[in-house]
Structure 1
Amino acid sequence: MTESKEYRSKMMSRIRSTGGKAEVILAKALWHKGIRYFKNYKKVYGKPDIAITKYKIAVFVDGEFWHGYDWENQKKKRIRTNRDYWIPKIEKNIERDRIVNKKLEDDGWIVLRFLEKHEVLKDLDSCVEKVINKVNYQRSTIET
């Protein structure tokens, strides 16, 4: 099924950069496990979706399309119109993610990136466990 240009435009305009379903679900799950954080923390490079500042852990919840999940296949199969716009845009996003990761890691942060649909919405418990493991690791290095 192909959507009309009007329908596609309306759907794309409704996508928001913060506070998506997966981001909210992960944040609430972490809060219920006792993990305290800041959302969309502007004081650190890259503005992580969830920043656990006490342990310098930055968590990003990435949409598969916008962050180039399975990019080599997707750019051939999924992007059929306006390729001159979308391909460079997504590739810039992928490069920006690399730069953000490197900058944060150079500043002593642990960076965790989860895919919205393939990880957070499919296996929330695993994502929460990964964050908690990093918190526990950081906690143990601080205490020793």
Structure 2
Amino acid sequence: MDKISPEARSRNMSRIRGKNTEPEKYIRRLLYHAGFRYRIHYRELPGKPDVYLRKYRTVLFINGCFWHRHEGCRYATTPKSNREFWENKFTRNVQRDKDVYDKLQSEGYKVIVIWECTIRKMMKERDFETEILFSLIDEIKKDSLKHEKHQPVHL
């Protein structure tokens, strides 16, 4: 049983946005200050990546742990009401993500996924922010797609 009324649940869900979320803006700000220039929500690429770095043929997806089912994450909970609906929705989301990542990689793009929980921790801990930012910059600049297909990089 849901703890809040259907009207309140509907109001809450209507406020969830898919573009220009705080985690996205945070990562874009870090990239910009690190000297990277990019496009956002680039429609010409499959999945409309959150950040597209043309110079590096790299795309970034800033994924919410709940919606994209970050394995082992405490934020990837499943609602208790209407469980079958949510499980089907999450399965479709995960499969769509995989299909998009595979398509981008087959077209020669490097795919980097940054999870919401990582960004939350980055916002709280300056040392962790620096560590992840350096890892992200290394991954962006790494020329790893020359001869072999790689899995998406998850941060």
TM-score band by shorter chain is 0.7 to 0.9
CA distance in 1 between counterparts of 2:115 and 2:41 reads: 17
Give deviations 1:43-71, integer Å, cap 9, x for gaps: 11111000001111110001111101237
| 1:122 corresponds to 2:121 | yes
**Structure-2 change in CA distance of 1:136 and 1:74 (3 Å):** closer
Q: Mind listing any 5+ residue stretches in structure 2 that lack a counterpart?
A: 123-128, 147-155
Amino acid in the other structure paired with 1:108:
G
Mapping of residues 1-144 of structure 1, within 5 Å: 2-70=3-71, 78-116=78-116, 118-123=117-122, 124-138=129-143
Secondary structure of 1:131's aligned partner: helix
Secondary structure of 2:44's aligned partner: coil
User: Which consecutive aligned stretches of 4+ in structure 1 deviate over 6 angstroms post-superposition?
Assistant: none
Aligned length: 137
Q: Mind listing any 5+ residue stretches in structure 1 that lack a counterpart?
A: none
Give deviations 1:109-137, integer Å, cap 9, x for gaps: 11000111x11121243442233112322
User: RCO (CA 8 Å, sep 6+): is it higher in 1 or 2?
Assistant: 1
Task: Give the percent of matched residue pairs that are identical in Structure 1 and Structure 2.
Answer: 31
Give deviations 1:69-89, integer Å, cap 9, x for gaps: 237x988x6321112221101
Contact 1:50 1:59 survives alignment (8 Å): yes
Contact 2:47 2:100 survives alignment (8 Å): yes
| Structure with more of its chain in helix, by fraction | 1
Secondary structure of 2:65's aligned partner: coil
Amino acid in the other structure paired with 1:119:
T
Amino acid in the other structure paired with 2:57:
K
